[in-house]
Amino acid sequence: MPVVRASEALVHDLHGTRFVSYAAPRTGSKELAAWRGEVPAGTRAPAHTVTREEILHLLTGSLRLTLDGETHTLTAGDTAIVNAGSTLSVENPTAERATMWVTTSVGLQAELADGTRITPPWANA
């Protein structure tokens, strides 16, 4: 399927964040996955280590991204490159929702600090 309509995007919620999946194997993508992340005000996602590179582009709002122990504040228009093997956490300390566009390769997994391994369906199914 070369075109994915907004009404066809699958929505997933995890750790307070909404993931709206557009490009994934279920929509015909063979190599890449892409989704919109919606991070409500006051949300702090747990730190996790990723197995594939991710590109996070902030569309609206502001986020605090901690990447391998270094904290960065991103505002609309900023992009973060998260290399495979990096540990990151995302926090929205503001009073407004933030949205980002994320792209990665199919097969992404994330490992939480307690060893729990997550295979996000928005990047793999």
Domain ranges of the chain: 6-124
pTM of the model: 0.93
Dist CA 26 CA 29 (whole Å) = 7
Chain centroid to CA 73: 16
Q: What is the pLDDT of residues 70-119, one digit of tens each?
A: 999 999 999 999 999 999 999 999 999 999 999 999 999 999 999 999 99
Sort 104 into a burial class: Cβ within 10 Å, 0-12 / 13-18 / 19+: buried
Q: Which residue has the tokens 């409500």?
A: 40
Architecture of domain 6-124: Sandwich (2.60)
Give the C-alpha separation, 88 to 71, whole Å.
9
Confidence band of 1 (pLDDT split at 50, 70, 90): low
